[in-house]
Structure formats: C-alpha cells, structure tokens
Structure 1
Amino acid sequence: MRLTLRETIYLLTGWLTLFIIGTDLFVISPLLPLIAKEYGITPAVAGWIVTVFSLMYALSAPLFGWLSDRKGRRLFIVFGLLAFCLSNFSTAISPSFTTLIISRIFAGLSVAAITPLVYAIIGDAALPEHRGVWLSVVVSGHLMALWAGAPIGTMLEQVLGWRAIFIGLAIIAALLSILNFRVWASIQKVDSIEAPTKGSVLRIISAVSVTAFWAIAMYALYVFLGTGLVLYNHFSSNELAASITVFGIGAVLGSLCSGRVTDKIGTRMVSIFSTAILIGVLALLGLFFSARTLVYLLLFLWALTGYASFTSYQARLAEEFPETRGMALALNNTALYIGITLGSMTGSLVITKWGFFALPFICSGIALISCLISAKRKRHTPKAALKPSS
C-alpha cells in the first residue's frame, strides 16, 4: 500500500495524538507512589486519580461520539486537545489532592473527546480496503506509549520531577491541537448516508459487549501480572521490566499485523480467529506460568493475539456502523474501560478465592465468551460505504 503525502500526514497525526494520550494514561501508574508521598496520602487513595479519570471517560465518550456523527469530528478533537492541555497544566500545579482529583476528572473528559474520535476520523478518511491497516497504525501509537512513553516519562521524572511530565504533555497537546485543526480541515463533517436507523444504539451496545468481555479477559490477568511474576517466578526488577517490554512489543506488532491481514481476508474472520487463539494462549499461560524462559514467549503471544483481536474488532465496528461510526467507536472505548475496571475486580476476587494460578484459566474462559458473542453476531452489511471527503 503506497501512501500519498496527505495520507501519511493523516496517519502521523493520528499516531502522535494517541501516543501522547497513551503516555498520559500509562505514566500515571509509576508516578502514584511519588504523588502519594508529596500529598501525604496512601497509594490506595492516590489511585483515585486513575478511577475518576476512567469513570469520566467512560461516561462522556458516547456523548462526544454521538455529537461527532452529527457535527463533525475535527471540532471535538481540537476542543479535547485544548482541554487536555489545560487539565494537564492544572495537574502539574495542583496545590492539593482535591484540585488534583478535579484536574484528572477534566483530563478524562478531554480524552473522551479525542481517542474514539481519532479512530472514527481515521475510519472516515481511509478507503474501505485500507481501513484495517490505518486503524492498526493509529492504535499502535496508543500501545507504543505502554512500553515507550511511560518508561521515558518515568526517567524524565527522576531528573525534572513528576509535575514537569504533565507540563510537557500540556505543551505537546497545545501543539497537537494546531496540527489536528489543520490536518482534518478537509474532513470536518461526516457525510451520513441516512439518519441512524431505529434501534441502532441497541445494536451497537450488543456489539461492543464483545470488547467488554475481551477487556475483562486481558486486564484481570494483566493488572496482577507483575505480582505473579515477582511472587511466583521470583523475577528481579530487570526481568520484570523485560517481561513488560516483551508484552508491549507483542501488543504493537499484533495491532500492526492485524491491520494488513484484516484488509486481505476481512474484519470478521480476523477478529474471531485471533480471539480463538487468545483463548488457547491464556490457557497455556496457566499451565506454564512458572517456566521462567517460556513465559516470555507466552507473554509475547498473549499480547500479539490479544491486541490483534482488539484492533481487528475496532475495524469491524467501523465497517459495520458507517452512519454512526463515532458513536460505535466511542461506546467501544467505554466498553473497554468498563471491562478494565471489571477485570481488575475479577482478578482480585479470583486470586482471593482460588489463588493466582487459577486466573489465566478464568481469563481464558472469559475470552471464550467474547469469541462466542463475536461469532454469533450476524454479519451487518451497510447499504453503502462512506467515502472520504475531498
């Protein structure tokens, strides 16, 4: 696939935007102990800055998706980036934990206007035969932040302090708002084929339940992965960092590879097949988790198949709901955050009742539910496909 200069700029803009958003999301975890110490609170209390961010995102993303389907996406993406800039600057200068919490609430609101709408506008701009690749590229920007953006931010914190990280993110967001304003000028408004059909929201909610179960299966184990590797595999700090890096590389490659395969053989087949493989990989993790060398390969395969499943399913939603693409992808991101929250709760419950080694098998079973729902869903063929605006 040869890209024109304009298409390259589209993808680069989407990738950079989601990389910065992902960095803001993933860098919080290693900074929590420092934030807790500065404000004189426990790490558990400090964790509320993640909770309120996720809650606000999950609640407001569908609203921005619905509005963008009617008013165009560029306005809300730029608004989101400017709000993201202000909220991160507020985070950096917060004199108390209360003001910090408020700043993260607004950060969640701003990201809800950015992430799903970037996916949607990329879906609008791409030709149908290239949509899978395009979405996989921008998703890889978000995933790259998991193993590149967050560690870089953590290293900068040691030199500049944690507040400087958020000032830097605020400055970059301001610059990205200008870039997004210019780049998406030619695709300001989605050309609807028809008004959303009656009951389409219910169909979308049913469709994104696949993502909710996928997220539970992935994050119930991922949240407690470090704990398991340290307590049961006796990993050192370096080995733990290496395992997370291997997982991150697998996630990025899974996202990128799935895009090309999706465009060749179809979104439905790839999304179902990759989730089916994920079921087996999770079961193998349960069987061989204590195998110190083999576990690296299994972590890589887990991320590879898991994020291939997620990326291909996003492309499937973008294909199946062209008239309400913004709403569909926004609700899909809401389902993702709900799944992550339920996943952490599920993981805690399973470890408490049956121990850590039962967790991969439980997650494999939950992934099976996701796969069955995905396979059972009837193929939805829209009356016409949207063409990118010129």
Structure 2
Amino acid sequence: MSIDVRARARLPAWLLALVFTTFTFATDDYVVAGVLPALSADLEVSEAAGGQLVTAFSLAFALGAPVASVVSATWSRRGLLTWALALFIVANGAAALTTSYAVLMGLRVLAALAAAAVVPAAYALVASLAPDECRGRYLALVMGGMTGSLMLGVPIGTWVGGAFGWQATFVLGGLLGLAALVAIRATLPEPPAVAAMPVRERLAPLVRPQVLLGLLGVVGIVLGSMMLMTYLAPYLRDLAGAGPAELGWVFALAGLAGLAGGQLGGWAADWWGADRALIAGIAGFAAVMGLFAACWALRPVPLPALLPLLLVWAAVSWWIPPPAQTRLLALAGPAGPQALALNSSAVYVGVSGGGAVGGLVLQSHGSGWLPPAAAVVELAALGLFWAAGRRRPPP
C-alpha cells in the first residue's frame, strides 16, 4: 500500500517536460521587460516601441492559440510539439543575430505562433494522460510554468542580458527551447487520437453576454497588471535609479511573491467565494498603485525601501486570476470548459494590451503615470465582472 502511495506521489517525466515547456515560453515572452532599455537603445527605438515586442508576442499567441487548437486537434501530439519547438528555437536564434527592429518584431511573432501551437496541446495532453484523481493538480503544475518563469526564468534572462548584452537573452530562450524539445522527445508518449471539436462548439460561449463580459474582465485584469510589468525597467530606473542587476533580484523576489499570492487567491476563492476574493484582490491592487503614485512624488526613492511595496504588488497581481477564473466558470455554467479554453487567449490579449496601452502612457505622459492608469484599468475589469453577474440568467 505504501509503495503504491509513493508511486502516485512521483510526478511522471512527461509532466515535468510539459511544465518546463510552458516555463520556457513564458520566460521568452516576459524577459524582454528586463532588457528593455538596452534593447531599445541598440535598435534606436523608444522604450515604448521596444515594449511592443511583448505586445506582438502576446497578441500573436492570443490570436493563434484558438486557431491552432482547432486545426491541430487530430495531429500527432509529439509531431506538433517537435516542429513547433523547432520553429521556436530558430526564431530565437535569429533574434539574437538581427539588428533590425522590424525583423525582430517578425521573429517574435514566429516564436509566439510556436507557443500558441504548443500550450493548448500541452493542456490537452495533461487532460488525456493524467489519472482522474491527479488531473487538477497536473493542470495546475503546467499552468504554474508562467509563475515559475517570473521567479526564475526572467531574472536569469535579465542577468544574462545585463552581463552579455540583450542578444544573449534570446540565445538563452533558444537553449531553453532546445532543452524542452529534448525532454519532450525523450518522455512524452503519444496519446490516442481524438476527434476535433467543431469550431461552432468551441466558439459557442462567446454568444452569451455574461461570458463575453467575463472574458473581457480577464483581459482587463491582465492588461492592468502588465502595464507596469512590461515597463518595470524604465519605471524603476526613473523612480529608484535601478539597473539590470537590481532588476534581476526584483523579478526573482516578485515571482516568489506572485507564487504565494496565486495560492492565497485560490484559497480565498474557495473559502470566501470568488466575488469577495476578486474584490479584495483588485482593491489591494488599486491601493498599491496609489502608494506607487505617492512614491513618485518623493523620487528618487531607494530600491530597498520600494521592495516591500513591489512584493505586495506582485502578490496581489497573482492573487486576482484564480478567483477571476472561478467567477468565469460560474458565469459560463455548462459551457465552462469552452470558456476556460478561451481564457488563455484572453490572458494573452491582456498581456499584449498591457504592452500597447502602457506604451502609449509611457510615450505621452512618462513612466510615473503607469500605476494610476493600471489601477483604473483593474477597477474597470471589476466593473465588467459586476456587469456580467447582472446579465447572468437565473438558474
């Protein structure tokens, strides 16, 4: 009996390979934020324009993921992941060699399309290969690759970029992709083929107003958070004089705080209910943004003095998504699985929107206006969830 328990406790190698793969893609997306000043200077573009590299990656993923999940539903999983990871490796290797902003933008789109093919397939693989009693835990681990990237991948990429130049961060992305490819090929079994879900079924939740409003709420939540995350390097440079070395530590500690915040947000959604947890998280986020605005008036502020506030910001930013997803499930009712399938696209629309809107704020008003603008967006997202609840038909 004890042997069986220990066997179940061990995580399968294919699951660890998928976790590492999602970690790789999230690192590749967010690491641009850590090397933004140097990258923008070398390419002779503004930091707002440099931030659009995050926008391009995230928007390409958001648009590509639903299409890829439908088109490739009956393809070999191992074959799909192999070719997509190969494209990702090539795109990152070429990005390290280019000196053209336009070419780099195109290569970021290619890398994002590779990620868009892999991530939905990874979730489908977990659903088909995991034992019933482990499915939820396994899915959470694969989704946790994003938080892990902020805690480990982005800091390492930032340090590498600071030491060897921003091009080295893309070399690192390509090496991570190569390691993921080797792990996938070595461990991943081929699950039984399944019939593709009709496009009409996959898009059916969008015709329900409450689900559409909930998905827009998810977009707003991520957009507000990413407005500051994408431009954290210029913001902390202007507020505290922080450079690449300091940013590496900030990203590492923020990732750790975000991991804790995500767990607490999930606990709060279970114990308090999704609505109360969501309100608490967004209220906390808005309060932190207000404190950042107050700090701006006192600049320069030493980075160690800002660190507690940065950790709280990271924690509340990751607190919010679990209750938001729980609320979306409730709004969708029987269409919950389809709504969650579109949730990942909504997240990346928010990431791309954060880069775009944050870039406009940075360009027109300066980095000091990023926290107040982010707070307004988060409160608007809460309003969307409130409106969605009012549109939900009675049971």
TM-score, length basis structure 2:
0.73
**Map of 1:1-390 to 2, 5 A cutoff?**
4=8, 7-39=11-43, 43-71=47-75, 74-94=78-98, 96-126=100-130, 130-181=134-185, 183-187=187-191, 189-190=193-194, 197=201, 199-203=204-208, 205-223=212-230, 234=240, 243-258=250-265, 265=270, 271-289=274-292, 290=294, 296-311=307-322, 313-314=324-325, 324=338, 327-341=341-355, 343-344=357-358, 347-348=361-362, 358-359=372-373, 361-373=375-387, 375-376=389-390, 378=392
Question: How far did residue 257 of structure 1 move?
Answer: 4.9
Matches of 2:8 and 2:333, distance apart in 1: 23
Question: How far did residue 84 of structure 1 move?
Answer: 0.5
- Structure 1 match to 2:298: none
Matches of 1:294 and 1:63, distance apart in 2: 46
Structure 1 pair 150–241 and aligned structure 2 pair: CA distance change class (3 A): closer
Question: How far did residue 259 of structure 1 move?
Answer: 5.6
User: Residue type matched to 1:85 in 2?
Assistant: I
Structure 1 pair 165–141 and aligned structure 2 pair: CA distance change class (3 A): same
Matches of 2:394 and 2:68, distance apart in 1: 24
Question: How far did residue 361 of structure 1 move?
Answer: 4.5
Structure 1 pair 159–280 and aligned structure 2 pair: CA distance change class (3 A): closer
User: Residue type matched to 1:337 in 2?
Assistant: V
Matches of 2:138 and 2:266, distance apart in 1: 7
Does structure 2 conserve the Cα–Cα contact (< 8 Å) formed by 1:143 and 1:251?
Answer: yes
% same residue: 21
Matches of 1:75 and 1:207, distance apart in 2: 35
Q: Which moved more, 1:119-128 or 1:16-25?
A: 119-128
Matches of 1:141 and 1:301, distance apart in 2: 21
* Contiguous gaps of at least 5 residues in structure 2: 296-300
Q: Which moved more, 1:280-289 or 1:14-23?
A: 280-289
Matches of 2:213 and 2:132, distance apart in 1: 23
User: Residue type matched to 1:274 in 2?
Assistant: A
SS at match of 1:56: helix
SS at match of 1:211: helix
Structure 1 pair 250–320 and aligned structure 2 pair: CA distance change class (3 A): farther
Does structure 1 conserve the Cα–Cα contact (< 8 Å) formed by 2:161 and 2:169?
Answer: yes
- Structure 2 match to 1:384: none
Structure 1 pair 275–298 and aligned structure 2 pair: CA distance change class (3 A): farther
Does structure 1 conserve the Cα–Cα contact (< 8 Å) formed by 2:214 and 2:384?
Answer: no
User: Residue type matched to 2:222 in 1?
Assistant: A
Matches of 2:21 and 2:146, distance apart in 1: 8
SS at match of 2:320: helix
Residue-pair matches, total: 375
Question: How far did residue 310 of structure 1 move?
Answer: 1.8
Matches of 1:296 and 1:359, distance apart in 2: 21
Matches of 1:323 and 1:71, distance apart in 2: 21
Matches of 1:350 and 1:97, distance apart in 2: 21
TM-score, length basis structure 1:
0.74
Let me know the Cα RMSD of the aligned residues.
4.4
Matches of 1:189 and 1:157, distance apart in 2: 42
Does structure 1 conserve the Cα–Cα contact (< 8 Å) formed by 2:59 and 2:349?
Answer: no
* Contiguous gaps of at least 5 residues in structure 1: 382-390
